Structure 1
């Protein structure tokens, strides 16, 4: 049995200035996305470093933050919203949803593709391999905060979290960092190294993330105010991941009618 290191969520405190490690993880994720995007742009004739930088800084950041917050409120925080109509604006209280962030990123990609006169999948296929790297740091931020822990367990690496009671639990944040972050990043980065039919790389991301998230939900403690939605095991995360898995499989296996590559 292990114990969570109980890290101070603030990097330092200087009066009202209290930068958090969780916020720092977002900064690292976006900086890394810019670096990786510029590198990918050098490998693909349709992209330039300037265009890649614009996609990440002007569109990706907007989609992640706005979509992530609105998604959390709609998928997980309606009860809080009913109690406080200003709750969606109180980002400092925490609460971001990956699935909401994904919808925000999809919308941002659509706007970018329209402005740049590119095919939608040319944009999403370019961006998809970058996202798992950001997810890795996001889940590390969850671990530092000691939140989103897993179910009670007796595995040797089970961990006691300060807010999780006296019993050891699955460190599900680290599972997600490993699978949704590192493993998915390596798979997509290698898969996208060769030209693929439009939509294939995007499909790989949707299927991979959806599958990993759905599996980890079996050992992750559901949100207390939602609990299980059916059968004492089905969670909101699994319901939201199912369309990703199905559409991802469709993009991976659909017949290719054109020779356009991403």
Structure 2
């Protein structure tokens, strides 16, 4: 066979594809026959890189055939007999043993490095977790202080709580707010805050909300101060009462099991 060049890049051809009627090098063959599974099924004939002949060796699929199949029968290197192979192995024992010791020491070093890396990563993760918790605790304190400031301001504006009772009202409202946020996720924060404050001033307020008229009046006052509609405050109050009831029931149940 005459020396043929690749149809695409004009380099030395390494195979012939009858389906495409084209001589190709391995690089161009990979580009052409890796396009899709249909063209990858084309059966190609190998060209011996030594004598430039084909002896019927064929392959299909994407990728380059193994090096042992590239040469024709006449140009293939002779196989090494078992005795010759044994001699080669014996001659290389020393180099292999030295290489093994080198590889072993390298492996030990790699393991030590991996352990050090794992340890450092673990330490960094723990430190990051501690810093995240500290940030969360600081942000929680800031949020609590802001909420308490809002509640104290509402107490002053409502005028139904004595100044000495501000602390009791604020503490109860914050506790109720926690239960409100845990059990009721559909209401906005300000609605939950207003409902919690409303329950707290009714329970802890030194000035009794005796009559229905005064209760309605105070509710309207809270609506103006908080910006939350009175209907929403009452609806959230009812839901909050159910949440507190379920929580108390669960706590009583857990205490009963603990006593058993």
TM-score range, shorter chain: under 0.3
- The normalised TM-score by structure 2 is 0.28
Structure with a larger share of its residues in helix: 2
Highest Rg: 1 or 2? 2
Q: Per chain length, whose mean CA-contact separation is higher, i.e. which structure has more relative contact order (CA < 8 Å, sep 6+)?
A: 1
- The normalised TM-score by structure 1 is 0.28
